[in-house]
Amino acid sequence: QKVIEEAPAPGMSDEMRAAMTDAAVKAALAIDYVGAGTIEFIVDGANGLRPDGFWFMEMNTRLQVEHPVTESVTGLDLVEWQLRVAAGESLPKLQDEIELCGHAFEARIYAEDVPRGFLPATGTLHHLEFPPSVRIDSGVVAGDAISPFYDPMIAKLITSGPDRASALAALGEALDASRIAGSVTNLAFLRALAAHPGFGAGDVDTGLIARDIDALVHEPEATAEVWAVAALHALGLIGAAPAWSLWQPLAWQVSLVHKGEEEMLAASPEGSGWKVETPEGTVTLDIASNGDMLELRSAEGLSMMTLATWPGHVAVMGDAGTFEFAIPDPLEGAAADAHSGDHVISPMPGLVRQISAVAGQQVTRGEPLIVLEAMKMEHSLVAPRDGVIASVGVSTGDQVNEGIVLLQLEAAD
């Protein structure tokens, strides 16, 4: 799928643009086409963009997802034009009357797990916030659910500027300022791509992401400050004035789960703030809160973070990304499953396309057992260890939710 679109194309000469535009107009005239449409060409950029180096690929009889970048650099409302043409009106302008001004980018923000091969994700958008200075095209609001039944796009973020450098800088700043909690997203990936030196230089081709995939999918780690904020929220200490008395504990302890790992943290009063022992070290914080916005002062300096909370969870959001924590209920701790290696669990909502195992079958670690289809892609689920299939809990054609136990294993005799 497309990730970031821009207009005009970097490195495209006026001569090539005129040739490509002329070819598109001739194609539409050749079939007497009336309405909005998008003609796509494939380009050989090995020796630069040349007027003789592009070929017709396809025509879509609709506006494309990326039409906002065209609108940004032409000043035209293509949706309005589409409606006027459908109503029998003439186009407001001829082709040679359309001028390009400035540069624009569009980033597609998706609910997808980039490090896990861009798997589509689901969840409830407990927090959804974008900077007010940029164009956002979206069909969801905070509180909406991302389901497995539709494309997982959350929003399109569009920036523009007088030139490519300024539009790209605005894109990076807008992505940094975006805050989403409740579902994994590709925001960190988009931030890394917008900051990629090759992309910044306009050296773009279809192999760019694959060449630098390891750097682009690097996940930021939660810092000591992020852990501390999550712990102080879980303890109900944000906004509470540190005080000491004989009747208060010297330190409060809380357990947090992040990326499947449970950690114990401790907080104690320290001057006007709190000293918190975290998995990333001990940090002392002074926190001023204004609703879900937090101003932090620590040895690292001043920083701003945003909190999003829902039952049993807290998300800490900053320029580095969104970090979600589960707050375990101590009364439910005994119910934790100690045998997760005995299960094959659905990593996402999807359709059971194929089952390659039956009860009583002996399997080895890594052996494919189930094919799950989600968002038009097939994902093979494998045995987590050597063993024997104890039971199969689903059938081919079943629609399953994330976290459902599909198979159970038992030790081989």
Q: What is the largest CA-CA distance in the chain?
A: 88
Burial class for 4, CB neighbours closer than 10 Å (0-12, 13-18, 19+) = buried
User: Does the active-site annotation cover 179?
Assistant: no
Q: Which two tokens stand for residue 229?
A: 């904020």
What is the three-class DSSP state of 170? helix
Contact between 369 and 382 (Cβ < 8 Å): yes
* 249 cis-preceded (ω within 30 degrees of 0): no
Torsion angle of C-alpha atoms 191, 192, 194, 198, degrees rounded to 10: 180
Catalytic residue among 62, 116, 365, 385: 62
CA quadruple 172, 173, 175, 176: dihedral sign: positive
> Residue 410's CB: how many other CB atoms inside 10 A?
13
CA 76 vs CA 98, 184, 318: distances in Å:
9, 34, 35
Contact between 40 and 22 (Cβ < 8 Å): no
Q: Which two tokens stand for residue 149?
A: 């039944």
Instruction: Please state, in angstroms and rounded to a whole number, the distance separating the CA atoms of residues 170 and 153.
Output: 21
Contact between 315 and 307 (Cβ < 8 Å): yes
Among the listed residues 189, 143, 257, the one whose alpha carbon sits nearest the alpha carbon of residue 4: 189
First to last CA, the chain: 47
What is the three-class DSSP state of 40? strand
Q: Kindly write down the DSSP assignment for every residue of 275-312, as one continuous string.
A: EEEETTEEEEEEEEEETTEEEEEETTEEEEEEEEEETT
Q: Annotated active-site positions, please?
A: 62
